[in-house]
Amino acid sequence: MYIPKFTITNKILKEIGRVEASKEIIENAPLVPAYEAKFRDEAIIRTVHHGTHIEGNPLNTGEVAAVLEGREVEAKDRDVQEVLNYRRVLAYIDKRRTTNDKRQNVSEKDLLSIHRLTVEKILAPNKAGKYRKTQVVVKNSKTGKVSFVPPKASEVPTLVRDFMAWLSEKSEEIHPVLAAGITHYVLAFIHPFVDGNGRSARALATMVLFARGYDIKKFFSLEEYFDRSAGKYYETLQTVSNQKAESLSDRDLTVWLEYFCQGLAEELAKVRGRVQKLSLDLKLKGRTGQLVLSERQMKLVEYLESYGSISNRAWRSLLSKFSDDTILRDLKDLQKKGLIKKKGSTKGAVYVLK
């Protein structure tokens, strides 16, 4: 059985702490169903776009959205098919999540199904969802230089099954984010297929998160983080893969897990910010009927939501680029709208939400 090797560093602890904090806020945010659906749809588009773009697909976000909506775009058939296929992969993951309990085992069958969907109409049927029978290499797309030589084809089935045994029997002993990160690295290292390995590895890692209660309303896209830092992404994978180690279990995954945890933490922090702002918008609309607040006023109200009150010193620091007269006008307007009230004398005054 495969046994992962890594160290729980302060950075990993910090990033998982950020993940947990964002998860709590996102999952408990008072959003109406229409906004939740919008966030999920946007995450799907971003995941499909960035998940295929990192592999060289040239379609931009707008074109990906058009393809997913069934509209025609000027693009190569293969590029369009990759987009459609990855959307079907996400649908497969979602279906498995909703038809099983959250502690479902992610299996070898899931990996093969995900790969088959990933390369449908791109690879020959006898290669879709089938382990490779030949040696493959990973090359730098810019220089053409071989950057990594995966294991021999004859070793693939055993390596995958050894890993899957750990995933189903032992991985629940560690945090789900670490289990997902390990899944991603191991499959990228084994490179079990002739094509579609990156997409399959990222998809199965996402499936591990979803299966263990970390779908986080399906608002996030790890693929976006990887694509936007593609150089660092491949460099970090290669750093681990190029270690002088006799076996897969001997490779120290620490640096990769630090990068993976940071990626999820940063992606969820962005989602958290959007969710908090929208939650506040909806809350204020409920109080005022028609919400018309300036950007400065929104910052003031967000501060009050977070800290309960704001003093003269605090608002001067928060909006340091603006004059006292401007901010005082904003505060008076918020009082007229019935959103806040003033407590205390002029110099020692504080403002609180009503």
Q: How many CB atoms within 10 Å of residue 332? A: 12
Distance CA 317, CA 18 (A): 25
Sheet of 350-353, strands arranged across:
309-311, 350-353, 340-343
The answer to whether 191 is a known catalytic residue is yes
Report the Cα 85 to chain-centroid distance in Å. Answer: 19
Distance CA 20, CA 87 (A): 27
Task: Dig out the tokens for 208 from the structure.
Answer: 């591990």
CB half-sphere exposure, 110, CA atoms < 13 A: 26
Distance CA 122, CA 118 (A): 8
Which candidate in 49, 53, 175, 191 is catalytic? 191
Secondary structure element (H or E) that encloses residue 196, with its range:
none
- Dihedral angle over CA of 216, 221, 222, 228, nearest 10: -150
Distance CA 155, CA 270 (A): 40
Question: In sequence order, what are the residues at sequence separation of 6 or more whose Cβ sits closer than 8 angstroms to the Cβ of residue 267?
Answer: 220, 221, 222, 224, 225
Residues acting as catalytic residues: 191
